[in-house]
Amino acid sequence: KNHNNNTPVNDSRSLLEVWQDFRCEREIKSLRISQHSALANVSIRDAKLGTLYQCRILGIGRPSHNETEQIVAPPPDFILRSGDILILVGNPNKIAQAIGEQNLTEHIPSARDQKRWAWEMGAISLLVHPNSKLIGQSIKEKQFRTVHGLDVVGLRRSHQSQSEFEDVKLESGDSLFVVGPWKKLSQLKQQNHDFILLEMPKDIDEVVPAHNRLPVSLMILAAMIGISLFDVMPLVAAVLKAACPP
Protein backbone atom coordinates (compact mmCIF):
# COMPACT_ATOMS: atom_id res chain seq x y z
CA LYS A 1 0.00 0.00 0.00
CA ASN A 2 1.06 3.60 -0.59
CA HIS A 3 0.22 6.11 2.13
CA ASN A 4 0.41 9.88 2.01
CA ASN A 5 2.75 11.03 4.79
CA ASN A 6 0.46 13.92 5.69
CA THR A 7 -2.70 11.94 6.38
CA PRO A 8 -3.50 9.17 8.85
CA VAL A 9 -3.22 5.73 7.27
CA ASN A 10 -5.76 2.95 7.36
CA ASP A 11 -5.65 1.30 10.77
CA SER A 12 -6.11 -2.12 9.18
CA ARG A 13 -2.41 -2.21 8.34
CA SER A 14 -0.42 -4.34 10.77
CA LEU A 15 2.25 -2.73 12.91
CA LEU A 16 4.66 -5.37 11.70
CA GLU A 17 4.36 -3.80 8.24
CA VAL A 18 4.90 -0.35 9.73
CA TRP A 19 8.07 -1.49 11.50
CA GLN A 20 9.42 -2.70 8.18
CA ASP A 21 8.79 0.80 6.82
CA PHE A 22 10.78 2.44 9.61
CA ARG A 23 13.59 0.03 10.48
CA CYS A 24 16.20 1.29 7.92
CA GLU A 25 19.35 -0.70 8.71
CA ARG A 26 18.27 -1.26 12.30
CA GLU A 27 17.51 -4.46 14.07
CA ILE A 28 16.32 -5.48 17.51
CA LYS A 29 18.28 -8.10 19.42
CA SER A 30 17.81 -9.93 22.69
CA LEU A 31 21.20 -10.24 24.42
CA ARG A 32 22.28 -11.64 27.80
CA ILE A 33 24.91 -9.99 30.00
CA SER A 34 27.51 -12.64 30.81
CA GLN A 35 29.14 -13.09 34.20
CA HIS A 36 32.36 -11.43 33.04
CA SER A 37 30.79 -8.56 31.13
CA ALA A 38 31.96 -5.03 31.94
CA LEU A 39 28.28 -4.02 31.90
CA ALA A 40 27.50 -5.96 35.07
CA ASN A 41 26.92 -3.76 38.14
CA VAL A 42 27.01 -0.47 36.24
CA SER A 43 24.16 1.89 35.41
CA ILE A 44 22.71 2.22 31.93
CA ARG A 45 24.08 5.76 31.87
CA ASP A 46 27.62 4.61 32.69
CA ALA A 47 27.42 1.69 30.26
CA LYS A 48 27.37 4.29 27.44
CA LEU A 49 25.93 1.89 24.87
CA GLY A 50 24.48 4.82 22.98
CA THR A 51 27.81 6.63 22.79
CA LEU A 52 29.93 3.58 22.00
CA TYR A 53 27.61 1.62 19.73
CA GLN A 54 24.65 3.89 18.88
CA CYS A 55 22.40 1.26 20.49
CA ARG A 56 19.51 1.82 22.87
CA ILE A 57 17.98 -0.42 25.48
CA LEU A 58 14.24 -0.77 24.90
CA GLY A 59 13.73 -3.19 27.75
CA ILE A 60 15.44 -5.48 30.24
CA GLY A 61 14.48 -8.97 31.29
CA ARG A 62 15.68 -9.81 34.80
CA PRO A 63 15.48 -13.51 35.74
CA SER A 64 14.19 -14.14 39.25
CA HIS A 65 13.47 -17.67 40.48
CA ASN A 66 11.20 -19.18 37.83
CA GLU A 67 10.08 -15.86 36.37
CA THR A 68 11.63 -13.10 34.28
CA GLU A 69 10.69 -9.57 35.21
CA GLN A 70 10.10 -7.30 32.21
CA ILE A 71 11.30 -3.71 32.62
CA VAL A 72 10.27 -1.55 29.65
CA ALA A 73 12.11 1.75 28.98
CA PRO A 74 14.38 1.47 32.05
CA PRO A 75 15.75 4.76 33.46
CA PRO A 76 19.41 5.82 33.01
CA ASP A 77 20.27 5.09 36.64
CA PHE A 78 19.05 1.47 36.38
CA ILE A 79 21.86 -0.87 37.50
CA LEU A 80 22.57 -3.72 35.12
CA ARG A 81 23.35 -7.19 36.45
CA SER A 82 24.97 -10.34 35.17
CA GLY A 83 22.23 -12.48 33.65
CA ASP A 84 20.08 -9.52 32.61
CA ILE A 85 18.61 -9.75 29.12
CA LEU A 86 18.89 -6.56 27.09
CA ILE A 87 16.49 -5.71 24.30
CA LEU A 88 18.70 -3.56 22.08
CA VAL A 89 17.87 -1.63 18.93
CA GLY A 90 20.60 -0.41 16.61
CA ASN A 91 22.71 -1.03 13.53
CA PRO A 92 23.49 -4.75 13.10
CA ASN A 93 27.22 -4.11 12.78
CA LYS A 94 27.30 -1.97 15.91
CA ILE A 95 25.32 -4.56 17.84
CA ALA A 96 27.77 -7.24 16.71
CA GLN A 97 30.61 -5.03 17.95
CA ALA A 98 28.90 -4.63 21.32
CA ILE A 99 28.42 -8.40 21.60
CA GLY A 100 32.13 -8.98 21.10
CA GLU A 101 33.48 -6.16 23.23
CA GLN A 102 31.01 -6.37 26.12
CA ASN A 103 30.81 -10.16 26.50
CA LEU A 104 27.16 -10.44 25.53
CA THR A 105 25.48 -13.57 24.21
CA GLU A 106 22.48 -13.80 21.91
CA HIS A 107 19.35 -14.93 23.70
CA ILE A 108 16.13 -16.47 22.44
CA PRO A 109 13.27 -15.72 24.87
CA SER A 110 11.07 -18.58 25.97
CA ALA A 111 7.51 -18.78 24.68
CA ARG A 112 6.32 -17.64 28.11
CA ASP A 113 8.58 -14.58 28.07
CA GLN A 114 7.52 -13.71 24.54
CA LYS A 115 3.93 -13.61 25.71
CA ARG A 116 4.70 -11.47 28.72
CA TRP A 117 6.65 -8.95 26.62
CA ALA A 118 3.66 -8.62 24.31
CA TRP A 119 1.54 -7.34 27.19
CA GLU A 120 4.22 -4.98 28.48
CA MET A 121 5.59 -3.38 25.31
CA GLY A 122 3.85 -2.05 22.23
CA ALA A 123 4.31 0.54 19.49
CA ILE A 124 2.47 3.25 17.61
CA SER A 125 3.13 5.45 14.59
CA LEU A 126 2.74 9.23 15.00
CA LEU A 127 2.76 12.23 12.69
CA VAL A 128 4.39 15.48 13.84
CA HIS A 129 1.61 18.09 14.01
CA PRO A 130 2.08 21.28 11.90
CA ASN A 131 1.92 23.34 15.12
CA SER A 132 4.00 21.00 17.25
CA LYS A 133 6.51 22.55 19.62
CA LEU A 134 8.91 19.77 18.58
CA ILE A 135 9.42 21.30 15.13
CA GLY A 136 12.96 22.57 14.69
CA GLN A 137 14.32 20.38 17.48
CA SER A 138 15.70 16.86 17.44
CA ILE A 139 14.56 13.81 19.38
CA LYS A 140 17.76 14.05 21.41
CA GLU A 141 17.30 17.76 22.16
CA LYS A 142 13.73 17.20 23.34
CA GLN A 143 14.88 14.30 25.55
CA PHE A 144 11.96 12.25 24.30
CA ARG A 145 12.84 9.17 26.35
CA THR A 146 13.20 11.18 29.58
CA VAL A 147 10.03 13.22 29.07
CA HIS A 148 7.71 10.48 27.81
CA GLY A 149 9.32 7.23 28.99
CA LEU A 150 9.19 5.99 25.40
CA ASP A 151 11.70 5.33 22.61
CA VAL A 152 11.56 6.67 19.08
CA VAL A 153 13.07 3.86 17.02
CA GLY A 154 12.28 5.17 13.55
CA LEU A 155 11.66 8.38 11.60
CA ARG A 156 10.26 8.77 8.09
CA ARG A 157 10.38 11.93 6.01
CA SER A 158 8.91 12.27 2.52
CA HIS A 159 8.21 8.53 2.48
CA GLN A 160 11.85 7.69 3.28
CA SER A 161 13.08 6.15 6.52
CA GLN A 162 16.06 7.90 8.08
CA SER A 163 19.06 5.87 9.24
CA GLU A 164 20.56 8.40 11.68
CA PHE A 165 17.67 10.48 12.95
CA GLU A 166 18.39 11.25 16.62
CA ASP A 167 20.00 14.60 15.73
CA VAL A 168 17.70 15.42 12.81
CA LYS A 169 15.60 18.57 13.31
CA LEU A 170 11.96 17.54 13.17
CA GLU A 171 9.65 18.95 10.55
CA SER A 172 5.89 19.06 10.15
CA GLY A 173 4.75 15.84 8.52
CA ASP A 174 7.58 13.68 9.85
CA SER A 175 6.33 10.33 11.11
CA LEU A 176 7.76 8.61 14.19
CA PHE A 177 7.70 4.98 15.26
CA VAL A 178 7.48 4.91 19.06
CA VAL A 179 8.00 1.87 21.31
CA GLY A 180 7.34 1.50 25.03
CA PRO A 181 4.85 0.59 27.76
CA TRP A 182 1.26 0.45 26.57
CA LYS A 183 0.11 2.84 29.27
CA LYS A 184 2.59 5.53 28.24
CA LEU A 185 1.76 5.03 24.57
CA SER A 186 -1.89 5.59 25.40
CA GLN A 187 -0.97 8.80 27.23
CA LEU A 188 1.16 10.04 24.35
CA LYS A 189 -1.61 9.64 21.79
CA GLN A 190 -3.66 12.16 23.79
CA GLN A 191 -1.12 14.92 23.06
CA ASN A 192 -2.83 15.98 19.85
CA HIS A 193 -1.22 19.43 19.94
CA ASP A 194 2.13 17.79 19.09
CA PHE A 195 1.19 14.56 17.33
CA ILE A 196 -1.41 13.06 15.05
CA LEU A 197 -1.93 9.35 15.58
CA LEU A 198 -1.26 7.33 12.43
CA GLU A 199 -1.53 3.71 13.46
CA MET A 200 -1.98 1.57 16.56
CA PRO A 201 -3.69 -1.72 17.42
CA LYS A 202 -7.46 -1.43 17.53
CA ASP A 203 -7.54 -3.41 20.77
CA ILE A 204 -5.16 -1.21 22.78
CA ASP A 205 -7.88 -0.49 25.37
CA GLU A 206 -7.96 -4.21 26.04
CA VAL A 207 -4.19 -4.72 26.02
CA VAL A 208 -3.35 -2.66 29.11
CA PRO A 209 -5.95 -4.03 31.56
CA ALA A 210 -5.53 -7.53 30.13
CA HIS A 211 -2.37 -7.93 32.21
CA ASN A 212 -4.69 -8.46 35.17
CA ARG A 213 -6.21 -11.40 33.30
CA LEU A 214 -2.81 -12.76 32.27
CA PRO A 215 -3.45 -16.54 32.50
CA VAL A 216 -6.41 -16.37 30.09
CA SER A 217 -4.72 -13.76 27.91
CA LEU A 218 -1.59 -15.87 27.53
CA MET A 219 -3.55 -18.80 26.15
CA ILE A 220 -5.11 -16.50 23.56
CA LEU A 221 -1.78 -14.88 22.77
CA ALA A 222 -0.07 -18.24 22.36
CA ALA A 223 -2.35 -18.98 19.45
CA MET A 224 -1.39 -15.66 17.86
CA ILE A 225 2.35 -15.96 18.30
CA GLY A 226 3.22 -19.64 17.96
CA ILE A 227 6.24 -21.16 19.63
CA SER A 228 8.55 -20.64 16.66
CA LEU A 229 7.80 -16.95 16.08
CA PHE A 230 11.21 -15.75 17.20
CA ASP A 231 12.85 -17.89 14.56
CA VAL A 232 11.43 -15.69 11.81
CA MET A 233 11.07 -12.15 13.11
CA PRO A 234 12.74 -9.78 15.61
CA LEU A 235 11.49 -9.18 19.14
CA VAL A 236 9.42 -6.03 18.74
CA ALA A 237 8.01 -7.36 15.47
CA ALA A 238 6.79 -10.39 17.40
CA VAL A 239 5.29 -8.13 20.03
CA LEU A 240 3.55 -6.08 17.37
CA LYS A 241 2.31 -9.16 15.55
CA ALA A 242 0.78 -10.46 18.77
CA ALA A 243 -0.76 -7.10 19.64
CA CYS A 244 -2.26 -6.55 16.23
CA PRO A 245 -2.99 -9.82 14.43
CA PRO A 246 -3.81 -9.65 10.71
Q: Residue 88 and residue 242: Cα distance in Å, rounded?
A: 19
Task: Note the pLDDT of residue 66.
Answer: 79
Taking each helix axis from N to C end, the angle separating 214-225 and 235-243, rounded to the nearest 10 degrees, works out to: 110
Burial of 239 (0-12, 13-18, 19+ CB in 10 A): buried
Q: Which residue has the higher pLDDT, 209 or 187?
A: 187
pLDDT above 90 for 222? no
- What is the pTM for the complete model shown? 0.71
Tens-digit pLDDT profile for residues 49-106: 999 999 999 999 998 887 888 999 999 999 999 999 999 999 999 999 999 999 999 9
Tens-digit pLDDT profile for residues 148-176: 989 999 999 988 888 888 889 999 999 99
Question: Got the DSSP string for 82-138?
Answer: TT-EEEEEE-HHHHHHHHHHTTEEE----HHHHHHHHHHEEEEEEEE-TT-TTTTS-
Tens-digit pLDDT profile for residues 117-150: 878 888 888 999 999 999 999 998 888 988 898 9
Burial of 223 (0-12, 13-18, 19+ CB in 10 A): exposed
